[in-house]
Amino acid sequence: MRKFQKLAFIMLMTAMVFAAGCGGGPNDHDYVDLGLPSGTLWATCNVGASTPEGYGDYFAWGETQPKTVYSWSTYKYCNGGYDKLTKYCKESDYGNNGFNDNLTTLEPSDDAATANWGSDWCLPSADQWRELLDNTNVAWTTQNGVNGRLFTASNGHSLFLPAAGFCWDDELGDVGSYGDYWSSSLGTDSPNGAWLFYFGLDYYIVYNDIRRDGRSVRAVRSARQN
């Protein structure tokens, strides 16, 4: 079976087991209040999933639809290479023909959570990921047969993130072993990367990685929208 066919098959099977959507309408999705200082409310499932254990869809950073090949040649905001960016570029050395727009946060039209779930929702910023880690107990666990990380707050509420792996080129890997979740924040090391939350069995970290890869999205909303 060719690689892209294999990836498409895995994504199809995932969609069959964990059907798309967490609610009845674009703004109708379950969330949990962990009592965080900012009041941020976290969705209970990934974009493209219907249960907390569902892997959901995989998105390149700044793209709003899943695809079968995740590479610089297929990435929306570059001209075929990591140093030919056409949006979200704060260093001209990485911009196409010296392009530089100084944008460092995803606009709503490029936010996979907003585009798929509506204006109440967005990707968490890097700081919101750090706030989640700083204000919960984080443990590796298995929930309904799915490996992942459980975040338990002092108010007794909890949030589960499945180890959904990630996509690169036409491969889907690390499923059940690692989780990769985008933030809305452009990377600080270089603009061809963005901040994400990454975890495995023995560690978890918020760090920069390349924008072109397909990773999970867990949406957030503010308390004032509740």
CA-CA distance, 50 to 199, in Å (whole number)? 22
Contacts (Cβ under 8 Å, ≥6 apart) of 197: 129, 133, 161, 179, 180, 181, 183, 204, 205, 206
Residue type, 85: L
Euclidean distance between the first and the last CA atom of the chain, given in angstroms as a whole number: 47
Q: Spell out, as residue ranges, where the chain has pLDDT lower than 50.
A: 1-26, 225-226
Count of residues making up the chain: 226
Going from N- to C-terminal start, the domains of the chain cover 3-225
Collapsing DSSP to helix, strand or coil, 16 comes out as helix
Among 57, 65, 49, 59, which residue's Cα sits nearest to residue 17? 49
Give residue for tokens 């949006």: 87
In the prediction, which pLDDT does 27 show? 54
Among 142, 153, 132, which residue's Cα sits nearest to residue 197? 132
DSSP state of 205: E
In the prediction, which pLDDT does 1 show? 39
Radius of gyration of the chain (CA): 17
